[in-house]
Structure 1
Amino acid sequence: MSEVSVLIKDVPVRERPREKLVKEGPERLTNQELLAVLLRTGTKSESVLSLAQRVLFHFDGLPFLKEAAIEELQEIRGIGAAKAIELRAAVELGRRIHTYTEEDPYIIRSPEDVSRYVMEDMRFLKQEHFVILCLNTKNQVIHKQTLFIGSLNSSIVHPRELFKEALRRSAASLICLHNHPSGDPTPSREDIEVTKRLMECGRILGIDVLDHIIIGDRRFVSLKEQDCL
């Protein structure tokens, strides 16, 4: 294979891999250019594009590159330990993304389902954590997030933060929950007032607040079941 020593500074800016990726997106880059982005630098006498081309040539393309060991990569002039490790990490990450499959979504049919989903994570917390579960139209949990930490009151639980997250996740509905560090899940008047306020905001936005579950120590209370709402 003949080599042409072209330094990256001699490549037009619009054609440099990093700049091209930012401007046009990764899907517009060739395998050589994507590899050059990962390698970052070439050598004193060779551009990173030329180095990337030699790596692909050495392994006869991507299929064998994905199986290359760190020692094999280091056999290529210009590939030291750091570059070899970074390439192996990138290949492994790509493999994991390709083979990743989501677990079966958790479906909420009752307050007991909510309790089973969060009890072990929340019953030992030393502070109150206000959490939302975002659900799709099939009542499957699509996102869980802690929004606030601290005593539950109308000043700390901001509807805008709650519904901003729900809208961002395209949630059809949501369930609010928080823990009582005392272990007693009995709702306070503040708990009920905050929930009514959130439900009213949800009706305006078209996102139902289905329930507010209070988590204690192996016990829970559903405000909906208690006819508090």
Structure 2
Amino acid sequence: MSYKIKNSNIIVNRNKKYSITTVRDREKNDRPREKMLRLGAETLSSPELLAIILNTGTKKEEVINMADRILKEYGKNSIINEKNPNNLEKEFGLPIVKSCQIVACFELGKRFFKKEGLETTTIRNAKQAFDHLKDMGKLNKEHFRGLYLNSRYKLIHSEIISMGTLDTGIIHPREVFRPALEYSSSAIIIAHNHPSGILKASSEDLEVNKKLNEAGRILGIEILDHLIISKNKFVSLL
């Protein structure tokens, strides 16, 4: 028995109709925008706030479910630091307009954050680095991230370098060190997650680690640490 999509909200088979829930199907007071007006933005969950930014879902996915999926699969810290809308479009099948809305929203927030001088995160050891990156342990896909520090160990930039299996052919030193040069960083902490929960470094992990440390010595930008992260646990390769 085959299914066929007849319109934006109904999936039909031979005998039955299955409705796809939309925001309009919710009680009015439970809709994100109305809830914000009634109770204030601080009462909304992260998916509800992101749903307001996205405004609408797609033919196949209700907007709050879409927002929740994006935050769970991408990670809150990761999406905050995503700068390329094309990555979101490719990873989640989002329309490019919605991908641009997400990146623009978080970029604007970061600019205000920097303007007020609120960036006070200091990272001096592996535990502090893990505390900043531990959301990676919840991700279902492997992410490779970089934390960029100034000479006083203040975090000045965070970037998703790649997504997918760690591979020496994918992780090129220029992708890791480009932000360091752009932001005049003195040192870098790199990290990737193991969705399997196994913290043992693979041969590819060790090869990437060696390659990046050699590049760092040539450029005079130190790799302070390389963490492997799983849920609530981490191990350092240095």
TM-score class normalised by the smaller sequence: 0.5 to 0.7
Corresponding residue for residue 192 of structure 1 = 206
| TM, length-normalised to structure 2 | 0.51
SS of 2:232's equivalent in the other structure is coil
SS of 1:108's equivalent in the other structure is coil
Corresponding residue for residue 101 of structure 1 = 116
2 CA distance for matches of 1:99 and 1:107? 15
Corresponding residue for residue 150 of structure 1 = 164
Structure 1 residues 99, 122: CA separation in 2 closer, same or farther (over 3 Å shift)? closer
SS of 1:202's equivalent in the other structure is helix
Aligned partner of 2:210: which letter?
Answer: K
Corresponding residue for residue 12 of structure 1 = none
Corresponding residue for residue 154 of structure 2 = 140
Let me know the Cα RMSD of the aligned residues.
2.1
Alignment of 1:33-182 (within 5 A): 100-119=115-134, 121-182=135-196
1 CA distance for matches of 2:223 and 2:163? 20
| TM, length-normalised to structure 1 | 0.53
Give 1:159 shift: 0.6
SS of 1:201's equivalent in the other structure is helix
1 CA distance for matches of 2:113 and 2:174? 36
Cα displacement string for residues 144-179 of structure 1 (whole angstroms, at most 9, x for unaligned residues):
010100100100101111111110010001011000
Larger radius of gyration: 1
SS of 1:186's equivalent in the other structure is coil
2 CA distance for matches of 1:99 and 1:212? 26
Aligned residues with identical type, % of pairs: 43
2 CA distance for matches of 1:180 and 1:98? 31
2 CA distance for matches of 1:98 and 1:111? 25
Give 1:98 shift: 11
Q: Structure 1: which 5+ residue stretches go unaligned?
A: 1-92, 225-229
Q: Is the 8 A contact 2:191 2:226 kept in 1?
A: yes
2 CA distance for matches of 1:104 and 1:171? 15
Q: Is the 8 A contact 1:184 1:219 kept in 2?
A: no
Q: Is the 8 A contact 2:148 2:188 kept in 1?
A: yes
